[in-house]
C-alpha cells in the first residue's frame, strides 16, 4: 500500500493532469493552498507542501513564494500529454542498474515482461457501461485483449461462455466479487477485484462540478451508481445524468463539459453529441493497477522461463 505522501502526490498530479485534459485547468490557474488541501484530504499540511514540491520538480506546477501554487506553463507533448518527468525516468534507470540491468537493456526487458504473452482478460460486472469502460482501460493502459459481460449474462449461459474459458484473468468490481470468485474457482482462473480511484471525487470531478456537467449513460442503473459515488462531492447539484433512449441529448449546452460512457459511444457510433466531450476517465486505482501489472509480469516471466528451459532441451 502507498503511504500518505505518495497518495497525496498521486492525487494532486492526477488532478492537475486530468484537469488540463478536461479543460478545467489552464496554465497560470491558481491551485488550492496547502492548508486548503490538508483540510480536504484530512492530513497534515506539511505532507501537502512536500507533495506540491515533488510535482513542482516534475514541472507540473509553479510554487511562488508567498504567492501560492499555479498550473505551470509548459509545452505539451503528443496528444497534449506533458513531457515525461526526467527525475522519475532517471530513478527507474538507476534502480535497474542496481539490479544489474544496464540502462540500454532495460527497455527490452520491460517489453519482454509485458509482451511475451498476449494475455486475455474478461470483465464480469454489473452493467454494460462498467464492462466496456473497464475493457477500454485494460486494453489501452495494460495491453490486454479484453472483452466482457454482465454477471447476469454469465449466469444465464448453460455452460460458461467461450470467452470465460479462454481467459487468462477475470476482472470484476467489489459488488460482484463473490459471484466472480466462485466463477473463477470453477474455471480455475485468477480473479482481480478492481478498486475505483478514491481521488476521482477529490480530483478532476471536484473541479468539473464547479459548473454544470453532463454524463450520458446507457442504463438507469449505472446512472444511479454514479450519482451515489459522487453524492458527497461539493457541487453534486451540477451533475446532470442523461440516459440514452430516455432523455433528450439535445438539451446539453454546446459548451458544457460532457462525459459519454463507452457503451453510449458504441451505440451512437458517429452521432455527434452536443457539449464539450471529456476524455475517457481512468478509474482503476493505483493499488489495483499494481496488482494487474504484477499478474502481467509474473505471467510473462513464467513464459520466458518455460521457453528458455525448452530451448535447453533441444
> For the segment 96-114, what is each residue's pLDDT rounded down to a tens digit?
999 999 999 999 999 999 9
Give the pTM.
0.80
pLDDT, position 4: 67
Q: Is the pLDDT of residue 83 over 90?
A: no
Q: Render the burial of 180-209: b for 16+ CB within 10 Å, e for the rest.
A: beebbeeeebebbbbbebebbbbbbbbbbb
Residue at grid coordinates 442523461: 242
Determine the average pLDDT of the residues in 299-312: 89
Q: Residues 136, 281: contact at Cβ < 8 Å?
A: no
Positive or negative, the Cα torsion across 243, 206, 277, 290? negative
Write down the CATH number for the domain with range 117-196+289-313.
3.40.50
Q: What is the CATH number of domain 4-75?
A: 1.10.10.10
**Which band of pLDDT confidence, cut at 50, 70 and 90, is reported for residue 204?**
low
Per-residue pLDDT tens digits for 8-43: 787 788 778 877 776 778 888 998 888 888 876 778
**Distances 138 to 112, 142, 220, 261, 275 between C-alpha atoms, Å:** 18, 5, 24, 15, 27
Amino acid at each position: 500500500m502507498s503511504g500518505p505522501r505518495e497518495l497525496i502526490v498521486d492525487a494532486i498530479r492526477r488532478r492537475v493532469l486530468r484537469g488540463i485534459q478536461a479543460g478545467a485547468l489552464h496554465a497560470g490557474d491558481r491551485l488550492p493552498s496547502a492548508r486548503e488541501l490538508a483540510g480536504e484530504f484530512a492530513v497534515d499540511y506539511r505532507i501537502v507542501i512536500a507533495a506540491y514540491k515533488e510535482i513542482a520538480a516534475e514541472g507540473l506546477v509553479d510554487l511562488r513564494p508567498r504567492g501560492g501554487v499555479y498550473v505551470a506553463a509548459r509545452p505539451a507533448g503528443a496528444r497534449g500529454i506533458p513531457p515525461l518527468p526526467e527525475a522519475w525516468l532517471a530513478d527507474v534507470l538507476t534502480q535497474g542498474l542496481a539490479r544489474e540491468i544496464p540502462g540500454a537493456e532495460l527497455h527490452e526487458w520491460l517489453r519482454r515482461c509485458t509482451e511475451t504473452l498476449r494475455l486475455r482478460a474478461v470483465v464480469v460486472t454489473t452493467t454494460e457501461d462498467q464492462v466496456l469502460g473497464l475493457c477500454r482501460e485494460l486494453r489501452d493502459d495494460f495491453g490486454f485483449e479484453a472483452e466482457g459481460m454482465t454477471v447476469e449474462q454469465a449466469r444465464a449461459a448453460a455452460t460458461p461462455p467461450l470467452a470465460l474459458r479462454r481467459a487468462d484473468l477475470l476482472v470484476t468490481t467489489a459488488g460482484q466479487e463473490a459471484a466472480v470468485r466462485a466463477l473463477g474457482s470453477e474455471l480455475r482462473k485468477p480473479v482481480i477485484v478492481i478498486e475505483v480511484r478514491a481521488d476521482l471525487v477529490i480530483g478532476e470531478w471536484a473541479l468539473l462540478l464547479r459548473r454544470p456537467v453532463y454524463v450520458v449513460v446507457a442504463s438507469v442503473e449505472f446512472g444511479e451508481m454514479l450519482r451515489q459515488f459522487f453524492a458527497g462531492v461539493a457541487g453534486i447539484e451540477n451533475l446532470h445524468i442523461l440516459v440514452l433512449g430516455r432523455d433528450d441529448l439535445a438539451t446539453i449546452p454546446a459548451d458544457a463539459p460532457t462525459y459519454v460512457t463507452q457503451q453510449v459511444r458504441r451505440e451512437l457510433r458517429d452521432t455527434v453529441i452536443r457539449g464539450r466531450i471529456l476524455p475517457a476517465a481512468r478509474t482503476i486505482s493505483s493499488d489495483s493497477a499494481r496488482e494487474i501489472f504484477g499478474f502481467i509480469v509474473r505471467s510473462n516471466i513464467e513464459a520466458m522461463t518455460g521457453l528458455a528451459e525448452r530451448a535447453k532441451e533441444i
